[in-house]
A = this chain, B = another copy of it.
Amino acid sequence: MLYIIEEQSGKAVRLKKGDIITVIDPQGKQVSDMVLFNAHDLKEKISSGKTLDFEESILLSTGHFLWSNRSNKMMRILEDTNGRNDFLLAPCSAETFRIMYNNPEYHPSCLENLTKNLEPYGISQDDIPTAFNIFMNVQFDEKGKLSVLPPTSKAGDYVKFEAQMDLLVCLTACSAEDSNGGSFKPIHFEVSSSN
């Protein structure tokens, strides 16, 4: 089944262990933030710290796992046609635009869109962890200086994940200008059942 996330919005979906989810950048150069929760116990969730620790890498692509705060595997990356994702930076929020973009006006954000789509499941904004930022092109130099460049993804690039437990997944089409080269675009995803 194909799901469409309109520009600057988000969507939540439940997966069973073994299900495959393919996150697609249909037009190219668009970022999708992904957060994961154990479907049966929402206090267990995706952890950047545990993932970087167990995978021993800042960059995560085909063959790597995404881990939870309880040191369990949540997703395996089966395929990644673009090859650049970020797990350092938090989802963009109202304060990102106020502080980093010097924009005091209302601006949609990934944190707002994650919150909107997760609140019906009983998850509040404070409980949303650092997201796995699919297609996000964060560069670092040897001194650790970080910079956000436009994604290298082309139209049709995708990252395919296999659920390692029953999951509640939330995805966005990112709202931050720096993350997508200044143009807002949709994200598509497909779910295929293991049964």
**Which residues does A use to contact B, with CB under 8 Å?**
43-44, 47-50, 52-54, 56-59, 69-71, 88-91, 93, 95-96, 99-100, 124, 126, 129-131, 140, 142-147
Contacts and interface: CB of A to CB of B under 8 A. Distances in A.
Given A43-B124, A71-B95, 7 more contacts: A48-B88, A49-B88, A53-B89, A57-B145, A70-B126, A140-B140, A140-B144
Contacts of A56: 145-147
23 contacts: A44-B126, A48-B48, A48-B49, A48-B130, A49-B88, A49-B89, A49-B90, A49-B129, A49-B130, A52-B88, A52-B90, A53-B89, A53-B90, A53-B96, A56-B146, A56-B147, A58-B88, A58-B140, A59-B143, A59-B144, A70-B126, A71-B95, A142-B142
Contacts of A95: 70-71
A5 to B, nearest CB: 21
A55 to B, nearest CB: 8
Given A90-B53, A144-B57, A146-B58, A69 B126 contact: yes
A142 B143 CA distance: 10
Nearest to A138: B52
A56 B138 CA distance: 10
A33 to B, nearest CB: 11
A47 B130 contact: yes
Nearest to A147: B56
